[in-house]
Structure 1
Amino acid sequence: MSQSVDRALGILPLLARGPADLGGVARELDVHKSTALRLLRTLHAHGLVYRQPDGRYRLGAHLFALAAEAVENLDVREIAHPHLVELGARTGHTVHLAVHQDDEVVYIDKVDSRYPVRMYSRIGKPVPLTVAAVSKVLLADLPEPERRALAARVEYPRYTARSIPDADAFLRELDLVREQGWAADLGGHEESINCVGAPVRGADGRAVAAMSLSAPGVVVTAEELLDLLPLVRAGAETISREYAGSGPAPLPAEAGAGPESGA
């Protein structure tokens, strides 16, 4: 990277902390004021920096507009899909991606398992809000007032004996999920299906989607599925880094075996 570009980019995090005068920018960059002024003028010409009436500089409106446009055009499904395929290939189980919309959590992508028993789920289908792992992951990330308001207005169908029965139990479950950073549905929707999920986060740290791994109990036990949780979390973290623009990272080497090898 050229020295001028490197120095110019160094101004942006400084101004993100608040307005600064020319002397402060020069000291931060360890350059002469004339050099700092030249860099500031270039950034100002592109709308990335704005000079206030008091002579101090702050981040420009065009920078915020670019950031907003970039976030709006990000497609988490497009970014996540290769990683869903990879996780499915490494485990053999069903992989889902879901997002929170209003009072629904909806599947936006799915990679089917490689064994004959298939899950009854499809892209665009809302998930059981109070029991699904992806739902718990996404709702646990809501601010507490929103969590409490949602818990008070949703219904609590008893799909199985393990379904969450009421708002108090649901809030306790969401608190646990928020603390541990992942969620599970071990027979809460269907006795025979278990699922683990983890959040995909944006640059601001908020959950923008949830990724999950599901399998019937006739293929793997709940304990065996939980053993694959590190792969799910690592996959979600990789998607998060790519979505946030901080770079990809590989899944860990120790993959759990798929159903054909008894995992």
Structure 2
Amino acid sequence: MSSALKLLRLLDEVGESSEPVRVALLAAELGATRSEVHRHLVTLVAAGWMEKLPDGAYQLTVKAAHLGHAALQHAGFGERVSGLLVELAADIGHSVCLAVLDDDAARVVKRADPGTTAHVTLALGRRMSLLTGATGRVLIAYADPEDVDALRGRGVPVPTEGECAEIRAAGYALIPPGSSDGLAGIAFPLRGRTGRPAVALCAIGPETRFDPMDVRDALAAAAADLGRLTVSTGGPPDAWGG
């Protein structure tokens, strides 16, 4: 099990890189030996998950993309969800995304842009802070307290108990002013039948041109629609909150 977990952790690390990776850098990031990292990479190449480039670096193959697409389908992120996001982005004129908790960050799993010149970087797979990102803040506010305590115990920056209570009372979270490189954002939890929300819907834009309160009602309605839609299209009920 230990070896398998190390291999999966290596895959996570590779997934964080926008470029091909090298053995030495991976070993440093993972706190592992070069031989151990090389052995795992050879295994992944043999399994078709990675390929070795002529310069000695390694990169993911499209097999990883196929699995990621399948995972989104299993979780209820089908084409109807994508269509609703596209409509929402067009209606409010700002970028929107769906994000989930991914260990010590929130990760973007779906996004849509309004088709204007005001683009915001919300790349698929991007990981955002649990303390300064609207999605991270709202997901932490509704997360299992034991999970939040575990994150705090590991030194992961998260909102305080008081901040979480305020977010729950409001029903949404904002990017704290001045904490996200000139961006403003608002995020709502998606609500389904049971359990705690594990997905957040966020709208984001340059704080000089985007007032989150202008889209609050539209985003709240969309979050409600998405929560019902993902449950009805096969998303696991306990993953969509209640």
TM-score, scaled to structure 2: 0.59
Task: Determine the structure 1 residue equivalent to 2:39.
Answer: none
Residue deviations 1:8-51, cap 9 Å, x none? Answer: xxxxxxxxxxxxxxxxxxxxxxxxxxxxxxxxxxxxxxxxxxxx
SS in structure 1 of the partner of residue 128 of structure 2:
coil
2:167, 2:173 within 8 Å by CA — same for their partners in 1? yes
Query: Which of 204, 212, 222 pairs up with 2:202?
Result: 212
Task: Determine the structure 2 residue equivalent to 1:152.
Answer: 153
5+ residue gaps, structure 2:
1-72, 234-242
Question: What is the distance in 2 between the residues matched to 1:121 and 1:176?
Answer: 26
Task: Determine the structure 2 residue equivalent to 1:254.
Answer: none
Task: Determine the structure 2 residue equivalent to 1:201.
Answer: 191
1:77, 1:108 within 8 Å by CA — same for their partners in 2? no
Question: What is the distance in 1 between the residues matched to 2:178 and 2:129?
Answer: 10
SS in structure 1 of the partner of residue 198 of structure 2:
strand
Residue deviations 1:62-116, cap 9 Å, x none? Answer: xxxxxxxxxx934235442222111101011010110112333100111124332
Cα shift at 1:215: 1.2
1:151, 1:171 within 8 Å by CA — same for their partners in 2? no
Residue deviations 1:128-170, cap 9 Å, x none? Answer: 22111111111111122222222332344xxxxxxxxxx6x53
Task: Determine the structure 2 residue equivalent to 1:98.
Answer: 99
SS in structure 2 of the partner of residue 203 of structure 1:
coil
SS in structure 1 of the partner of residue 108 of structure 2:
strand
Question: What is the distance in 2 between the residues matched to 1:232 and 1:150?
Answer: 28
SS in structure 2 of the partner of residue 122 of structure 1:
coil
Alignment of 1:1-263 (within 5 A): 73-76=74-77, 78-156=79-157, 170-220=160-210, 224-245=211-232
Cα shift at 1:204: 0.8
Tell me which amino acid in the other structure corresponds to 2:219: V
2:133, 2:180 within 8 Å by CA — same for their partners in 1? no
SS in structure 1 of the partner of residue 187 of structure 2:
strand
Tell me which amino acid in the other structure corresponds to 2:227: S
TM-score, scaled to structure 1: 0.55
Larger radius of gyration: 1
The 3 A distance-change label for structure 1 pair 153 and 237 is same
1:182, 1:197 within 8 Å by CA — same for their partners in 2? yes
The 3 A distance-change label for structure 1 pair 245 and 93 is same
| Alignment RMSD | 2.3
The 3 A distance-change label for structure 1 pair 200 and 76 is farther
Cα shift at 1:178: 2.1
Question: What is the distance in 1 between the residues matched to 2:176 and 2:165?
Answer: 18
Aligned residue-pair number: 161
SS in structure 1 of the partner of residue 123 of structure 2:
coil
The 3 A distance-change label for structure 1 pair 73 and 225 is closer
2:101, 2:139 within 8 Å by CA — same for their partners in 1? yes
Tell me which amino acid in the other structure corresponds to 1:146: D
Give aligned-pair identity as a percent. 25
Cα shift at 1:186: 3.9
Question: What is the distance in 2 between the residues matched to 1:78 and 1:170?
Answer: 36
Cα shift at 1:230: 0.9
Tell me which amino acid in the other structure corresponds to 1:237: A
